[in-house]
Amino acid sequence: MTEGSRRKSVLGRAIDGVSLGAVFVILWAGVHFAPGLRADAALVGSIGFLLLAGVLTAQVLEVVGLPHLSGFLLAGVVAGPHVLGLIAADTVPRLKPVNTLALALIALAGGAELKLEHLRRSLRSLVAATVGHGVVGALLSGLVFFAIRPFFPFARELSLPASLGVALLVGIIASARSPAATLGVLSQTHADGPLSQFTLAVVMISDVVVVVLMSLAVTLARPLIDVDATIGVHAFGALGHELLGSVSIGTTLGLALSAYLKLVGRQPVVVLLATGFGGTELLKYLHFDPLLAFLVAGFVVQNLTHQGERFLGAISAMGEIVYVLFFAIAGAALDLGLLRDQWPFACAFVIWRVAVTLGVARVSSRLAKDPPAVVEWGWSGLVAQAGLSIGLAAIMTQELPSLAPVGNLMLATVAVNQVLGPIVFKIALDRTKESRSLAALEDLGPPPVRT
């Protein structure tokens, strides 16, 4: 980068900082001098503010090498109801439809990023990592929780069978990863290489495995925790119906999207918006899993049709907006009071989870004879947690209300991992030289389309 570019970069960051301060002041003035502006006006204003503040905060934090996702999160946390209160507590739940759309698009993009050719080449590595993190890692995390349960006030009174059931659920939630964080960091860094390809594939496949394991775990844990409950065959039948139905609908949706792109091709963004909103609600109404269905749909478009690059291009056109809103809303929704109350337990569990992830990754990568970059840094992209983990904790407390304190612990843990994970993954991509710096992008031109 030339000296002139450096001065321009410094000036640009200074302007971003001043602009960010101005945005916060304007919203603060609006909240305090026009407190009657609520409902729809507050909702629209919150969305616009989170977009602008998230982008500006990310640009400012980029000076110290933090990923953009950290800026999006920080903007949401500071503006949220637990810090400055610029976004009211009753407004945050009303932002849920925006998150619904973001999760749908992230799942579609994640499925479309999985190329069958690459999966075949790295099958041994993916099987070792999926089994290692999805099964062995979950068991280790669960066993540790079981061993240290006397230190948790809410777990001291649990019976032995109930403790085993809770440990099983905690282990499954701990094994969940964050496709949104992975794709967000890769989108910013334009990284391409063994580590980025490995992380993307493992995160997408392992989260499908986690969804299945969580359904099985709830079925098995219920009679351990609730003595009046029993394991019914119908529960496994319902699980099979949900999985097969989700895959079938996802396949059909993928073929339909491909046909639209080939035969019509106009306004794909509008079609994706309708698919994200309407498709999610319909799938939930039919008791199918939207994440699995959208992952399958993206995979089908990429690998069974010739519309994969066009499909990814349409999603990429909305990419920055999707990640800004998803993580800024997640930041605003973070319950800092809960984190303050649970931080000793949450930090202890985070440290253990990172240690388990690191150990399992090193063993599985050596067994699979992965490239050196994956052996050393393959764990880094598996630290982050976000929407899926929160959803799994919600399922646990919904199905077993007595486990609300455990759900709170998991939410506090996810909050820490949500902040820590993207930072660790970006450091790994920089260390392995898979990240493409701004200077490199200027020299090499536009990056190739990720397929």
Region 156-185 average pLDDT: 85
Percent of the chain with pLDDT over 70: 87
Question: Residue 33: its pLDDT value, please?
Answer: 62
- Which domain-ending residue is among 71, 90, 109? 90
Terminal alpha carbon distance of the chain: 29
- Are residue 259 and residue 306 in the same domain, yes or no? yes
> Is residue 447 scored above 80 in pLDDT?
no
Let me know if residue 59 belongs to a domain: yes
| CATH number, domain containing residue 205 | 1.20.1530.20
Average pLDDT of the segment spanning 112-120: 85
- What is the number of structural domains in the chain? 2
pLDDT band at 30 (very low <50, low <70, confident <90, very high): low
Contact, 175 vs 354, CB < 8 A?
no
Kindly state whether residues 86 and 103 are assigned to the same domain.
no
Mean pLDDT across the chain, nearest whole number? Answer: 81
Q: Quick check: 321 and 106 in contact, CB under 8 A?
A: no
Same domain, 299 and 342: yes
Q: Is the dihedral of CA 71, 76, 79, 80 positive or negative?
A: negative
- Taking 70 as the threshold, does the pLDDT of residue 2 lie above it? no
Same domain, 201 and 65: no
How confident is the model over 367-395, as pLDDT tens digits? 989 999 999 999 999 998 876 777 777 77
Average pLDDT over residues 203-218: 81
pLDDT at 7 (0 to 100): 44
* Prediction pTM value: 0.82
Instruction: Note whether 11 and 136 are same-domain residues.
Output: no
Of 138, 131, 184, 60, residue with least CA distance to 364: 131
Query: Residue 234 pLDDT more than 70?
Result: no
* Continuous segment of H or E residues that includes residue 188: helix 179-189
Give the model's pLDDT for residue 96.
78
**Same domain as 168, residue 298:** yes
Q: Which domain holds residue 25?
A: 3-90
pLDDT of 210 over the 70 cut: yes
pLDDT of residue 425: 93
Same domain, 76 and 110: no
Q: How large is the average pLDDT for residues 339-350?
A: 82
Distance of CA 386 to the CA centre of its chain: 4
Which distant-in-sequence residues (6+ apart) come within 8 Å of 5 by Cβ?
A: none
Q: Supply angle C-alpha 212, 217, 222, rounded to 5.
A: 140
Look at residue 228 and tell me whether its pLDDT is greater than 70: no
Average pLDDT over residues 148-155: 77
Residues 264-276 have pLDDT tens digits of 888 888 888 888 8
Count the Cβ atoms, other than its own, within 10 Å of residue 135.
16
> Is residue 449, in this structure, part of any structural domain at all?
no
**Does 450 reside within a domain?**
no
Least confident of 45-54, 149-158, 326-335: 149-158
Residues 205, 60 share a domain: no
- Same-domain check for residues 115 and 132: yes
User: Percent of the chain, pLDDT > 90?
Assistant: 15
Is residue 403 very low, low, confident or very high in pLDDT (cuts 50, 70, 90)?
confident
What is the pLDDT, as a whole number, of residue 378?
A: 92
Q: Is residue 356 domain-shared with residue 292, that is, in the same domain? A: yes
Q: Of 2-11, 46-55, 71-80, give the lowest mean pLDDT range.
A: 2-11
Confidence at 1, pLDDT banded by 50, 70, 90: very low
Domain assignment present for 193: yes
Least confident of 20-29, 175-184, 271-280, 325-334: 20-29
Are 65 and 134 within one domain?
no
Asked if pLDDT for residue 57 goes beyond 90, the answer is no
